[in-house]
Amino acid sequence: MKIILVGCGTVGLSLVAPLQSEGHDITVIDSDAGVIEHISNTYDVIGYVGNGATFDVLRSVGVENCDLLIATADSDELNLLCCLSAHKLGAKNTIARVRNPEYAGQLYELKNDFGLSMAINPERAAAAEIARILRFPSATSVEIFARGRAELVSFRVPKGNLLVGKQLRELPSLGLSVLVCSVDRGGEIFIPGGTFVINEGDNLYVTGSPKDISRSFKKAGIYINPVKSVMIAGAETISDYLADALAQHNIGVKIIENDKTLSSAFAKKYPKAVVLEGELSDHSLLDEEGLDKTDAFVALTGLDEGNILSALYAKEKKVPKIIAKVAGDNLFSMFKGREIDTIISPKHVTLNEILRYVRAIAASGSEGSILSLYKIVGGKVEVLEFEADADMKDVINIPLSVLKIKKNVLIACIVRSNKALVPKGSDMIMPGDSVLVVSANGRITGLGDIIDEIK
């Protein structure tokens, strides 16, 4: 695809490498000549110095022929104007990064007026991901499909768990109504069959409805008691979004912030929350406020090192669920998947959201539009969501046990009439179904591609 990137800050620059590696034709626009020179010398892209919101600049880079314009400049207003101008000049799709919370309520109504295909707020998206993870405290990640009716949850099998040594075909007899669609065993990836045996330490990726996943977690003995109290360090924008989400689920919130103005503002906005003015590094304060008795600790200050150190202290106090926000790439990669349960980066959340959209529209073919495309297990496995229609004669109205499905491809979930079904051999894909397909071969662009014509 022909993609134009406007604004080459941390997000825009981070998008260049993955988009280029996936074969897209990239043009970057920035008002800073030094930035454009650096990117042009580093990557095989076209660089243009100028204001990406003006018709003249957009026409100069051929916006009328572009498949997607992504605006990630520092200014929300500039990003929205870029998308509006690009849409007027003929760009097929546009994405804007919009961070100001005051615009959140307007974007839905203004989306069509601005010609927006997608608007992404990094802090809000990160807070939503944290809230999803807190619903499943044992999970390392939670992704949603079919408008929340199906979920993909990953977790590590603990020592001594009843799943250890069990074949996947035994799970229904244990009362587990989920499907294990992928397994990461020390970096070795499996798209497992029914005879696959679960080992201690395996990272399992399971699909199902939120209710079935929650019930299955409990039955498997890996479900930590639901989070009822959360201590949040830092009264940042992301903290605001998270506190709002937790308040809607009646979860007790305690916020620690050293800035008096911010702590006062939070206290007024969230009267049911406990808001304290104090330093995160003051461990005696954390102890006095019952850190060891809270269900989850979430470090969201603007200082990465402070978030990590406080998260490590929370681990020392045996807090059941610990989440830390880290903006720096080096620290993010250093601690992700190690000493701290979950590391969250608003930048990485934003990149993933944008790349999912790009991959979905790039991979969509004549056999059916890809509704969403996620990459899991370090990008080694794709999870694609399709909508089945009546023209797909090779896959609809045929029992799954009869379908000749390619190796390393699995039908993970079927959503029908707003219900998520864990597919069995006797089930069939029907027109109108949303179908989740898990693939480790990277060659699925349409629902019909799951069929192996060689068999």
Residues 82-133 have pLDDT tens digits of 999 999 999 999 999 999 888 877 877 778 788 898 999 999 999 998 998 8
- Indicate the length of the chain as a whole number: 455
Answer yes or no: is 263 within a domain: yes
On the question of pLDDT at 214 being above 50, the answer is: yes
Same domain flag for 79 and 150: no
Please give the Cα distance from 269 to 241 (Å, whole number): 12
- The more confidently predicted of residues 377 and 154 is 154
- The more confidently predicted of residues 105 and 178 is 178
Count of structural domains, the chain: 4
Give the domain extent around 55.
2-120
Q: Minimal CA–CA distance to 122: which of 325, 362, 335?
A: 325
Give the per-residue pLDDT at 123: 93
What the block records as the tokens of 421 is 């079904």
Give the per-residue pLDDT at 362: 77
Pick from 172, 188, 219: which residue ends a domain? 219
Answer yes or no: is 11 within a domain: yes
Answer yes or no: is 19 within a domain: yes
DSSP string, 369-409: -EEEEEEETTTTEEEEEEE--TT-TTTBTSBTTTS-BPTTE
Long-range contacts (CB closer than 8 Å, 24 or more residues apart) made by 10-14: 10/347, 11/72, 11/97, 11/122, 11/347, 11/350, 11/351, 12/70, 12/72, 12/73, 13/39, 14/347, 14/351
3-state secondary structure of 358: helix
On the question of pLDDT at 453 being above 60, the answer is: yes
Residue 375 bridge partners (DSSP): 382
Same domain flag for 112 and 194: no
Mean pLDDT (whole number) for 232-253? 92
Same domain flag for 149 and 238: no
Give the per-residue pLDDT at 74: 92
pLDDT tens-place string over residues 412-444: 999 999 899 999 999 999 999 999 999 987 677
Same domain flag for 237 and 210: no
**Cβ-count burial of 8 within 10 angstroms (0-12 exposed, 13-18 middle, 19+ buried)?**
buried
User: Running DSSP on this structure, what letter comes out for residue 227?
Assistant: P
Same domain flag for 237 and 201: no
pLDDT tens-place string over residues 345-394: 898 889 888 988 887 787 664 444 678 878 888 778 888 898 888 888 88
Answer yes or no: is 350 within a domain: no
Please give the Cα distance from 128 to 340 (Å, whole number): 19
Answer yes or no: is 282 within a domain: yes
Same domain flag for 444 and 422: yes
Answer yes or no: is 128 within a domain: no
Give the per-residue pLDDT at 366: 40
Please give the Cα distance from 133 to 423 (Å, whole number): 25
Mean pLDDT (whole number) for 264-288? 91
Give the per-residue pLDDT at 180: 95
Same domain flag for 20 and 99: yes
3-state secondary structure of 69: strand
Rounded to two decimals, what is the model's pTM?
0.79
Give the per-residue pLDDT at 145: 85
Give the per-residue pLDDT at 365: 47
Least confident range from 24-33, 110-119, 164-173, 393-402: namely: 110-119
- The more confidently predicted of residues 240 and 148 is 240
Same domain flag for 238 and 200: no
CATH number, position 280: 3.40.50.720
Give the per-residue pLDDT at 442: 67
Same domain flag for 406 and 425: yes
- The more confidently predicted of residues 375 and 178 is 178
Same domain flag for 211 and 238: no
pLDDT tens-place string over residues 45-76: 999 999 999 999 999 999 999 999 999 999 99
CATH number, position 206: 3.30.70.1450
Give the per-residue pLDDT at 237: 92
Taking the alpha carbons at both ends of the chain, their separation in whole angstroms is 33
Answer yes or no: is 301 within a domain: yes
Average pLDDT, the chain: 89
Same domain flag for 16 and 72: yes
What the block records as the tokens of 380 is 């080694």
Give the per-residue pLDDT at 52: 95
Answer yes or no: is 341 within a domain: no
* C-beta separation of 155 from 203 below 8 A: yes
Those residues with Cβ within 8 angstroms of residue 178's Cβ, 6 or more apart along the chain or in another chain? 171, 206, 207, 208, 212, 213, 216, 422
